[in-house]
Structure 1
Amino acid sequence: MPFARLATATTATCHIGLGLAAVGRPGYINLGRDEDLGADRSVAALRSRTHELLDAAYAQGVRYVDVARSYGRSEEFLADWLKARPGIDDVVVGSKWGYTYTADWSTDAVRHEVKDHGLATYERQRAETDALLGDRLDLYQIHSVTPDSPALTDKELHARLAQAAAGGLTVGFSTSGPAQAEAIRAALAVTVDGEPLFRTVQSTYNVLEHSAGPALAEAHDAGLTVIVKEGMANGRLAGPNAPETLRAVAAETGLGCDAVALAWILRRPWVGVVLSGAATVAQLASNLHAPAVDLDPEQLTRLATLTEDPRAYWERRGELPWH
C-alpha cells in the first residue's frame, strides 16, 4: 500500500478500522441509534463512550481510526484518548475536511453540517485539525467529493494539498452519492507537476450499493489505498433492519448480519480497510467477526440479489432521520 502507516495498521486478520461518525456527536442517521446511545447524549457521555470503543478496538487489534471535522467532537475525543495513552504510537489517524458541523450539539437542528470544498475552508479546518491532532494525523481527506465538486478542478487547492503531502501528510478523498464512480475516476486524473495527488479513496460500498466497485478496483490498481465506509448502510443491514436474505445467510454462518455484510466487502481483493461504525462495544465485537466468515458461492449469489439502484439507494439514505 502506498500509505505506509496504513499498511502497518492492517493484518491478514484485521482489515477493519473504527469510524467515529456515530459517537462524536449526539445526532446521526444510523438506524437503531436511539437504543444504542440512550437518552444521555452529553459531551461527557459521548467522550466516555468513544474512549471505551477505542480501548476495545485497540485491544482487539484495530489500528486505524477515522474522524472528520463534521463529526462533532470526534477529533477532540480521539486526541484526548491518544494523549492519555502516550505509549500508543501505532494507531493510524485519518480525518476529513470539507463539511462544517453546525448542529451545536443538538439532535433536531435544521442543518447538521454544511459542505464547502473551497481553499479557505481547507485552510481553516486544517488549522483546527492540527490544533487537536498535531503530528498524530496521518491522512487528511476531502470529505464527500462528487463529480461537480470544485475540489476536483481548483489548482490552488491542489497545490496546497501537494504541499501538505510533501510535508509527510497523506492526501486522500472520500465520495458519496449515486455518481461515486464518476467522482473517483475524475479524482484519479488530478495531478500536480505530473504526479497523482491522491493516495487514498474512501467510498460507500455495501451489498445494497456497490456501483463504485469497478472504479475502486481501478483506484487500487493505480496505487491508491481503498477505505470502505458505510458497509452497514447506516444500519439497514443490521439486526432487525436487515433484509431476510441477509438474515438467512447469517443464520447459516452462526454469526451476525453485520459480520456477514462486512465479510462480503472483505472478499474484494482491492479493499484495504473496512470501517466499523459501531456505537457500542458489543457491536464492535460482532463486526470484528467478519474476517472469520466463510461465504460459499451459493451464499454470495443470494446476497447479490440485494443490489439496489444507486439513485434509489441514495434517495432513501437522504431520507433517513437524524437520531
Structure 2
Amino acid sequence: MVYDGKNGEYFELQKIDSHNSNFLKNTKTQTLLLIWFTSDQNKLTIDGIPYTFEKNEIVFLTEFHKLEYENIKTINLLKFNKSFYCVLDHDSEIGCKGILYYGAAAKLPIIKINEVPLEIMQTAWKMATLEFEMKDSLQLEMLQMMLKRILITCTRVYKMQSLSSITGTEQNDLIRNFNFLVETNFRSKHTVADYASLIYKSPKTISNTFKKLGTKSPLKFIQERIMLEARRLISYTDKDISEIAYELGFNDIQTFSRFFKKNEKIAPIQYRKKKYALNLFKNNKTMIGLGMAAIGRPHYINIKNNSISDENFDLAVFKTQGKHFLTEAYQAGIRHFDTAPSYGVAEEILSEWITEFQPKDIIISSKWGYTYVANFDKNAIVHEVKSHTLETLERQSKTTFERLKNIQIYQIHSATLESGVLENQEVLEKLYQIKKERNIEIGLSTSGANQNEIIKKALQIKCNNEALFDVFQVSYNLLEQNLLNLKEELKFKKVIIKEAMANGRIFLDKNDGLQIFQNLATKYNVGIDAIALQFVIATLNPYSVLSGVTHLDQLNENLKANSFSLEDHEIELLKTVKQTPEDYWEDRKKLSWQ
C-alpha cells in the first residue's frame, strides 16, 4: 500500500515475507524506514554487521543504511519521506530526533514492544491500513496522524529501554541533541569540545551525562560514527582512500589510515580487499578456505621437481613466514583454515597466529589419525605415519583442543575401509562424546578410488540414533569427478573439497584437457587454477573448497574463481576430461614429496 501525494509526499505500508523481500531494498531518496518483525529468526546484515531479529523487535533505518537480507520470515515495513512528515520540523510533537532517526548511527536504534505498546502499534497499523481505502481530502492528514502515533509510541519505548538511567528532561535532551549533532556534523567535527560549543555545555558535562547511561564515552561515540561512514564508503563506493579521508574531515591520508587501523586493526586498503572477497564468497555461497599442509611443513605431494636445497632449515623463520601468510590470507577474505597434526607445525602456527591476531570470525577444522615424523628433513623417506586407534585419537585430540580452543570441525584424517576405523566402536563412541561435550561437528576426510564407498558407509553410522558425521572432506577436481554421484546423498552435509588442483596435475602437458583449460582461462582472463576452482563450485556447491597455496600472489589468483561463472555448456565440456577413479589414484601414487 502506497500513498503518493501531489506535492511529493510518500508513505508506504507493506507486509513482507520471503516472496516479496525485494521491497526492503526499494528505497526512495530521503526515505526513513521502520521495520517491525512479526516472527522470530529474521536474519539481516546492516552496514556489514549481521543481526538476528526476533518477533516484535523494531529497527529504524535511513536511506544511508546498507541493507542485505539472508533469511526473511514476516515483517511489517513502513516507509515515509520528508515531504510526508519531517521528524526534524515536528520534533516538538514526537521527540524522536536523535533517538529513532538522525542519531546514534554507530548503534542501531532497536526496541522490543509488548503489552500496551504492542496493542497501540497493532491498532495504529490497522487504522492506517484501512485509511488507504479512503480517497478523500482528509486521507493525508489521517495517515500522518497514524504515523505520529506509531513514532511517539516507539520513542516512549526507546526512552524506557535505553535511556532509563537518564531521568531529567534536560539530560535527556542533551543526549538527543548530541546524537543529532554528531549525525549531522561528524565529517567536520571530531572532538567532544566541538559539540560542547554547539550545545553550550562543557565537555565534562557531556561526558558525565554519558557516564550515567553506562555506555561508551562521547568521544568514542563520535569515532564510531566516523568509522561507520568510513566502512560504508570503502565497502560500497569506488572512491580512493585519499578521497574518503578528505570527505571525512582528515587533512591527509596518513592521519586517516592511522585512525582507521587503530579502530579496525587493518589498513583501509586491506579492509576494502577483505570486503570485496567476502562479498564474492557470500554471493557464491561456497567459501574458498586455506589448507595448511604446505604452511606447516616444507614439502607436500605434488608435481614439482625442484632441486632440494642443502641449506639448514630454520624453524623459527618458517613459523614466522607462516603466520605472516595467514594474516595476508585473512585480509584477502579467507575465513576457513584447515589443519592437522601431520601438517608439521601447522596447528602451532595457527594457534600462535590466533593469539596474536585475534580474529573473531574464522572457521577452524583439524583432524586426527596421522603423525608427522619427517622432522622437516626434505630428504626423509617417511613423512607421516597413520594410526586410527583410540590411543591416537585421545592423544592428538587433547593436543589439538589445547591449541585450537575454538575449533568447529574435527575429522578422521583419511578414513579408509582397510584401517577399520569406521567399525571401531570405541573410536566412534569417543568421537560422539567429543561432539557432544565440545559442541563441534565431526567429520572425516577420504582418499582413494573407493572414496564414495567410504562416504556411504560413514553416512550409515549413528550413535544414540543420531548421525555421527556432519562433514566430509573429499578429493574432487577436474580429473576426479566421482563425488558427483553422491551429490544427492550429501546435500544436507557440509562438504569440504581438497586437492581441487589434482596436486598440480591439471597443469601437465600430457593432460588431455589442458587445451580446454587454457582456452577457458584466456576467455575469462584468469589462470587455470581459477577455472578448476570455479568448476568445483559450480558443479558441487560445497561448503568450502581448499586452496593449498603459500604465497599471496597465488592466493589472489585462486580467489579469481569467484569473479566469474562458467556457462552450462562449458561445465559439460569440462566433465569430459575426467579419469576413472582407478586411473586417477594410480597416477597419484606415482607423485613424490616435493
Query: Which residue of the partner structure matches residue 283 of structure 1?
Result: 554
* Matched letter for residue 431 of structure 2: L
Would you say 1:161 and 2:431 are equivalent positions?
A: yes
* Matched letter for residue 66 of structure 1: D
Q: Distance in 2 between matches of 1:99 and 1:215?
A: 26
Query: Which residue of the partner structure matches residue 26 of structure 1?
Result: 298
| Corresponding residue SS for 2:413 | strand
Deviations 1:188-213 (A, max 9, x none): 00100111001100000001001122
Q: Distance in 1 between matches of 2:540 and 2:509?
A: 30
Query: Which residue of the partner structure matches residue 226 of structure 1?
Result: 495
* Matched letter for residue 29 of structure 1: I
Gap change, CA 1:136 and 1:239, over 3 Å in 2: farther
Query: Which residue of the partner structure matches residue 110 of structure 1?
Result: 381
Q: 1:301 aligns with which of 557, 563, 572?
A: 572
- Contact 2:302 2:503 (C-alpha < 8 Å) held by counterparts: yes
Deviations 1:280-314 (A, max 9, x none): 11110000110122212332233222111211111
| Corresponding residue SS for 1:23 | helix
Would you say 1:151 and 2:421 are equivalent positions?
A: yes
* Matched letter for residue 251 of structure 1: T
Q: Following superposition of structure 1 onto structure 2, how do residues 57-206 of structure 1 map, counting pairs within 5 Å?
A: 57-86=329-358, 88-133=359-404, 135-167=405-437, 168-206=439-477
Q: Distance in 1 between matches of 2:360 and 2:517?
A: 38
| Corresponding residue SS for 2:301 | coil
Q: Which stretch has the larger CA shift, 112-121 or 54-63?
A: 54-63
Deviation, 1:12, is 2.5
Deviation, 1:110, is 1.5
Gap change, CA 1:209 and 1:39, over 3 Å in 2: farther
Gap change, CA 1:39 and 1:252, over 3 Å in 2: farther
| Corresponding residue SS for 1:158 | helix
Q: Which has the larger radius of gyration?
A: 2
* Matched letter for residue 394 of structure 2: E
Q: Distance in 2 between matches of 1:280 and 1:266?
A: 22
Q: Which stretch has the larger CA shift, 173-182 or 150-159?
A: 150-159
- Contact 1:26 1:41 (C-alpha < 8 Å) held by counterparts: no
Gap change, CA 1:42 and 1:237, over 3 Å in 2: farther
Query: Which residue of the partner structure matches residue 45 of structure 1?
Result: 317
- Contact 1:259 1:293 (C-alpha < 8 Å) held by counterparts: no
| Corresponding residue SS for 1:11 | helix
Q: Distance in 1 between matches of 2:304 and 2:554?
A: 12
Q: Distance in 2 between matches of 1:41 and 1:89?
A: 33
* Matched letter for residue 387 of structure 2: D
Q: 2:583 aligns with which of 300, 308, 312?
A: 312
Gap change, CA 1:99 and 1:93, over 3 Å in 2: same
Structure 1 residues without counterparts, runs of 5 or longer: 1-6
Gap change, CA 1:191 and 1:261, over 3 Å in 2: same
Name the structure, 1 or 2, with higher relative contact order (CA <8 Å, separation 6+).
1
Q: Given the two structures, how large is their TM-score scaled by the length of structure 1?
A: 0.90
* Matched letter for residue 296 of structure 2: G
- Contact 1:239 1:257 (C-alpha < 8 Å) held by counterparts: no
Deviation, 1:216, is 4.4
Deviation, 1:136, is 2.1
Deviations 1:213-272 (A, max 9, x none): 22244122xx21011000011112248787222122211211100000000000135411
Q: Distance in 2 between matches of 1:122 and 1:92?
A: 21
Deviation, 1:147, is 2.6
Gap change, CA 1:269 and 1:309, over 3 Å in 2: closer
* Matched letter for residue 164 of structure 1: I
Gap change, CA 1:233 and 1:273, over 3 Å in 2: same
- Contact 2:484 2:540 (C-alpha < 8 Å) held by counterparts: no
* Matched letter for residue 95 of structure 1: S
- Contact 2:443 2:470 (C-alpha < 8 Å) held by counterparts: yes
Aligned residues: 311
- Contact 2:293 2:343 (C-alpha < 8 Å) held by counterparts: yes
| Corresponding residue SS for 1:299 | helix
Q: Distance in 2 between matches of 1:195 and 1:116?
A: 26
Q: Percent same amino acid among aligned pairs?
A: 36
Q: Distance in 2 between matches of 1:54 and 1:74?
A: 11
* Matched letter for residue 292 of structure 1: S
Deviation, 1:155, is 1.2
Q: Given the two structures, how large is their TM-score scaled by the length of structure 2?
A: 0.50
Deviation, 1:107, is 1.5
